[in-house]
Amino acid sequence: MSQVILEVTNLSKSYEDIHVLKSISFNVEKGKCFGVLGPNGAGKTTLFSIISGILNKNEGEISINGKSISHEAQLKHGKIGILFNDIGIYEKLTASEFLRFLGVMYDLPEERLEERIRYISNILKLDLSNRTLIEKYSTGMKKKIAFAAAVIHSPDLLLLDEPFESVDAIVTHNIKELIRSYIKEGGTILIASHILQIIEEICDDFIIIDKGKVLLKSNVKELNGINLEQYFVDIISHQEVADEKTY
Amino acid sequence: MRKLIEVMKLFYRVNISYEIRTGAIVKLLLRCLFLLLFITGIAILAFMPNISWISGEELYFYILLFFLSISQYISHFVKNEFNYFYINRFPLKFHEALLLRLVYRNLDITSIACNIIGLIILSIKFAMTFSLLANFLVYILCIQILTEILNISGTKLYKNKKLYILFISLFLILIITFAKLRLFLPNYLLYSIRQQSYGNILGLIGTALLLVGIYKLVYTMDFRLKPGKGFSLNFSFVFELLIKRLAFIDKPLRYLIAKDFILMLRTKKHVFVYCFLLSLTFFSNDVGAENSIFYNLLIAFPVQVCINSFSLDNKGVISIFQTNVNRRNVFLAKNIVSGLLIILLYILFSLIFLIMGGTTFINASKLFLFIIPALFFLLPLCNYLSVTFPLKEGNSGGALFGTINIKSILIYTVISILVLTVFTVLTYFYQNQIFIPFLIVSTGLGYLFYQKSLDKVVKKLNDKEKKIITKLLFSRG
């Protein structure tokens, strides 16, 4: 049986009287790519923020490698890498300055850091000799840099929140390539996206969430040729009808 | 014109309704209270009998600087930040955009009231220095107008290279004819030039042009030239190399210092502090300018930089919180950079004053020595504020709305009073032989206070980490 790296149990979060996450549970196995699908406002970013330790949960348990996430040392010792949608970058640094800075903060030895930077920039086709500030780059380039920053310390678990949003086909291809090589090296990925074809292409397991609830847990192989997009739309519409009836 | 008025009305509607929606009436009242407090204070200061150890002109300067600092601080409370990206949505002509930006940015009611009332009181009390005031206003106006022109001409919509070149040429001419002349002329000649009000005003315009021009050039170049095959000057790289050589400093701390230093240099607003300070060189013979600089460094600078220390990191702050870096080092790095910049600026301006004959070496040195204990007391307070009330910055550098808190006002008031007290004590000790012992004792006490406070502020940061991240990353303001 595969080792479970991330275990989320009955996770709930509310902002004042708005329930953003309602008792969410799922497990992510080591070496797999796990997709979190959901329409806008489903609670994906909140879920990722809580798993990454940025936000506090109200209820529930999250454990990584069997240890509770409230034991924050895990986060601080580089077990997790995060790519948020347009956050987490020092835009007034150059890409090279930012990656080197992060490497030192993660305690990477000099040779290892250089090796990582070379490797990642090669796959992502990042020109680090360029002295342009990150703020002057396009959204796609920023995304690439944020991705490089998320994997610079070779984390065990990588959280990717909408990594393919606002990027062109070439950047999408590069990111997919890095995801595949990361998985090949034994890394685990939790990815949120609403680009369903990509999820279908790179993920093993997935959940569909809407309005803070898990509507479905499944495996891409189990789809047996069913179009994921149609499947997703059907489930969400079905839920909306059910909600209306309840209301 | 009709279009312009409509756009202005729209902006005001958006802002006022936003303030009401977010319960800003209380905050507006607080702003008025704050304003009233300072007007009362300033009135008391202005009408009290002259004090023997402080001249009228000096007092005038401190009060004026105080008002400027306060109006800057007040602007942190309101979302009156003009987002010029909005401008691009409307088909405005260049002059319309400029006017709109100028009007919109300078119409904060409390800031205007603060400045006007303060200046009226001061003009009554110190009628002799009225020309000084007029010159100063010319200077401020020049800076504002020119910066806006360059900012708008720099946007995609109004990109006009010719205008840029014209301004840069103008800077160069004015540097040579006014600023440089004034800086290196012998004292007696300088004095005679100063008597001519036209010369004064032209000099001020020249300085304003020079400073804005240098700033824009430097900012456009991002402190470096593009790397080429041959020799290339790379400021960040040079600084990084320099820092890396300091092997006795912990490696993450070195990188934190380097990062903070680069961020600070690349943040637009600091240039205004430098511009303002440099502008004081024009009054150096009339007032205790080195004292004014000291005062401004320790009021305006901490308010802009230290209190808001995480705002420089803004989105990037997540990088620090996700790593295992020692939080103590984070504050230490921020404080080292702020302190170093204050010290470097002081040295720079003292040198200018010395060349101009505005101060003596002994006076400048005495004041320099006083900066260290003052920093030991001020930085912990600023650290505390940056953790307790983190401020988020907008794209254009101003703090966003929603950050006001009565505690923050009180603490800022304490800082201001503390600096005023320090300043008063300093001025008093200038006349005495106990300056050195006083300095040693206060440095020692300051160091102990700083060390103790560092642990406390780290603990507070650990407790409030989630709130700070939420504020900096997710909140609207």
Burial of A50 (0-12, 13-18, 19+ CB in 10 A): buried
Strand partners, A12: A59
- Given a contact cutoff of 8 angstroms between Cβ atoms, the answer to whether A99 and A114 are in contact is no
Q: How many Cα atoms occupy the beta-carbon half-sphere of A161 within 13 Å?
A: 21
- Chain A residues touching B466 at Cβ < 8 A: 54-56
> Residue A8's CB: how many other CB atoms inside 10 A?
23
Q: List the single residue in B313, B323, B470 with the smallest CB-CB distance to A90.
A: B313
Most confident of A237-246, B267-276, B409-418: A237-246
- Chain B residues touching A80 at Cβ < 8 A: 322
Interchain contact A88–B (C-beta under 8 A): yes
Q: Residue B229 has what pLDDT?
A: 35
Residue B439 scores a pLDDT above 70? yes
Residue B98 neighbours by CB under 8 Å, 6+ apart: B148, B149, B152
Report CB contact under 8 Å: A78, B318: no
- CA-nearest of B364, B382, B374 to B422 is B374
Report CB contact under 8 Å: B316, A82: no
> What is the pLDDT confidence band of residue B448, given thresholds at 50, 70 and 90?
very high
Report CB contact under 8 Å: B259, A78: no
The answer to which of B97-106, B109-118, B132-141 has the lowest mean pLDDT is B132-141
- Given a contact cutoff of 8 angstroms between Cβ atoms, the answer to whether B286 and B57 are in contact is yes
Interchain contact A89–B (C-beta under 8 A): yes
Residues 131-150 of A with CB under 8 A from B: 131, 133, 149
Tokens 């800057």 identify what position? B72
Q: List the single residue in B227, B316, B473 with the smallest CB-CB distance to A90.
A: B316
- Chain A residues touching B318 at Cβ < 8 A: 54, 82, 84, 87-88
Over the stretch B301-342, which tens digit does the pLDDT of each residue have? 655 555 566 767 777 877 787 787 888 888 898 888 888 878
- Given a contact cutoff of 8 angstroms between Cβ atoms, the answer to whether B223 and B302 are in contact is no
Report CB contact under 8 Å: A101, B255: yes
Minimum Cα–Cα distance from B321: chain A residue: A76
Q: Residue B157 has what pLDDT?
A: 55
What does chain A look like in DSSP terms, one character per residue? -PPEEEEEEEEEEEETTEEEEEEEEEEEETT-EEEEE--TTSSHHHHHHHHTTSS--SEEEEEETTEETTSTHHHHTTSEEEEBTTBS--TTSBHHHHHHHHHHHTT--HHHHHHHHHHHHHHHT--TT---BGGGS-HHHHHHHHHHHHHTT--SEEEEESTTTT--HHHHHHHHHHHHHHHHTT-EEEEE-S-HHHHHHH-SEEEEEETTEEEEEEEGGGGTT--HHHHHHHHHHHHHHHHHHH-
Q: How far is CA B3 from CA B7, B85, B188, B318, in A?
A: 6, 17, 53, 42
State how far residue A131 is from chain B, nearest Cα, in angstroms: 7
Report CB contact under 8 Å: B318, A92: no
Q: List the single residue in A87, A92, A131 with the smallest CB-CB distance to B263.
A: A92
At residue A5, φ and ψ (nearest 5 deg) are -95, -40
Consecutive sets of 10 residues in chain A, 247 residues long: mean pLDDT of each? 83 81 90 88 84 81 78 61 77 86 86 91 83 82 88 89 84 86 88 84 87 83 72 74 62
Interchain contact A102–B (C-beta under 8 A): yes
- Chain B residues touching A102 at Cβ < 8 A: 319, 323
**Cα separation of A24 and A12, whole Å?**
7
**Cα separation of B410 and B418, whole Å?**
12
Report CB contact under 8 Å: A131, B224: yes
> What is the pLDDT confidence band of residue B219, given thresholds at 50, 70 and 90?
very low
Q: Which of B249, B268, B319 to mutate to test the interface with A (most CBs of A within 10 A)?
A: B319
Mean pLDDT of B56-66: 53
**Cα separation of B278 and A211, whole Å?**
57
What residues of B are in the A interface, CB distance below 8 Å? 222, 224, 226-227, 234, 236, 240, 251-252, 255, 258-259, 262-263, 266-267, 313-316, 318-325, 466, 469-470, 473
At residue B344, φ and ψ (nearest 5 deg) are -60, -45
In percent, how much of chain B has pLDDT > 90? 2
Q: List the single residue in A52, A77, A102 with the smallest CB-CB distance to B319.
A: A102
**Cα separation of B280 and B218, whole Å?**
22
Q: Residue B273 has what pLDDT?
A: 56
State how far residue A153 is from chain B, nearest Cα, in angstroms: 10
Q: Residue B140 has what pLDDT?
A: 57
Tokens 């808190």 identify what position? B405
Establish, for the pair of chains A and B, how many residue pairs have beta carbons separated by less than 8 Å.
Answer: 90
**Cα separation of A27 and A45, whole Å?**
18
The answer to which of B211-225, B256-270, B367-381, B416-430 has the lowest mean pLDDT is B211-225
State how far residue A160 is from chain B, nearest Cα, in angstroms: 15
Minimum Cα–Cα distance from A153: chain B residue: B323
Q: Residue B385 has what pLDDT?
A: 77
- Chain B residues touching A98 at Cβ < 8 A: 316, 319
Interchain contact A231–B (C-beta under 8 A): no
- Given a contact cutoff of 8 angstroms between Cβ atoms, the answer to whether B73 and B412 are in contact is yes
Minimum Cα–Cα distance from B311: chain A residue: A90
- Chain B residues touching A75 at Cβ < 8 A: 322
Is the ipTM of this structure higher than 0.90?
no
- Two tokens at A21? 């996450």
- Chain A residues touching B236 at Cβ < 8 A: 94, 97, 131
Over the stretch B343-360, which tens digit does the pLDDT of each residue have? 877 787 777 667 666 667
Q: Is A107 left (phi over 0), alpha (psi -120 to 50) or beta?
A: left
Q: Residue B188 has what pLDDT?
A: 44
> What is the pLDDT confidence band of residue B450, given thresholds at 50, 70 and 90?
very high
pTM above 0.80, yes or no: no
Q: Residue A188 has what pLDDT?
A: 92
